[in-house]
Chains A and B, each alone.
Chain A
Amino acid sequence: MVEPIFTVNANKLPWREGLVVRDALTMMNYTFKMLVIKVNGNLIKKDDYDSTPIPQNAEVLVIHLISGG
């Protein structure tokens, strides 16, 4: 049987029912506060990190916003 997965910035991670965006950040050890996150192309608002589910095979993109300009 093939284990269900999803990807974060092209890294394969094990998927399970009930995962939300916040879990993906924890799994990747992303500790940055300022982020842009897209799940399957949809922008996720900061307020929704704890409530937005990650579907199986989802493609999650996380970009750090770093100070400097």
Chain B
Amino acid sequence: MITPEEYFTKRHPVAFPIWQKAVVGIAGAGGLGSNIAISLARAGIGKLIIADFDSVSLENLNRQQFTISQVDQPKVHALAANINSFNPFISLEAYCMKVTPDNLITLFGNCDILIEAFDDASQKEMLIQNWLEKYPQKPVIGASGIAGYGNSESIRIHRLDNLYIVGDTQSMLEEGISPIAPRVAIVANLQADLALELLAKQDTKG
């Protein structure tokens, strides 16, 4: 058996203890959410709360962190299994349900930071508006504009107080064409990195 001491080596002396205490919510476990969750779990976030109502399909495998053998499984359960295969020490709460204004507090109220990782724009808007209304002091990190390939220098972080939007805020999905793996992963990892940055800053502020 591996011990936590053996597993968590070569970590940042100041930031890592902060991340270990942190609780991060991820709304959506698709292209964005699966990449965000895996990066945050590798980085050493202590607890992740992930919600998504969907199951893995074959067409998700072009960009989402699942395997062929996980097709038809609920995404949150497949993702939890994948995370536990490389980090057995993380605390995971996985909810296979649709996020609504009514269950937002129950699901994510204990989180230090919420990351919006939905596909649909109206869901993104619902989550961001409701979160900022209920928790004006807690950061929410959304994504907008991830489609296509190339021109990735147009992807940036828009910082609006406690609301952060990552993406090019321009690129639309073309009918029948999925987002493509690298650009989704770039945005997802910018979201994940920003969460790490905000947590470290929050804590050092006291």
Contact = CB atoms under 8 A, between A and B. Distances in A.
Interface size class of A (residues with CB under 8 A): 10 to 19
A26 to B, nearest CB: 19
Interface residues of B, number: 36
B68 interface: no
A66 B171 contact: yes
Given A34-B124, A43-B132, A69-B31, A63 B165 contact: yes
A1 B160 CA distance: 33
19 contacts: A33-B122, A34-B122, A36-B160, A36-B163, A38-B160, A38-B163, A43-B129, A45-B133, A61-B160, A64-B170, A66-B121, A66-B172, A68-B143, A68-B172, A68-B179, A68-B184, A69-B33, A69-B179, A69-B184
Interface of A: 33-36, 38, 41, 43, 45-46, 61, 63-69
Interface of B: 28, 30-33, 117-122, 124-125, 128-129, 132-133, 142-147, 158, 160-161, 163, 165, 167, 169-173, 179, 184
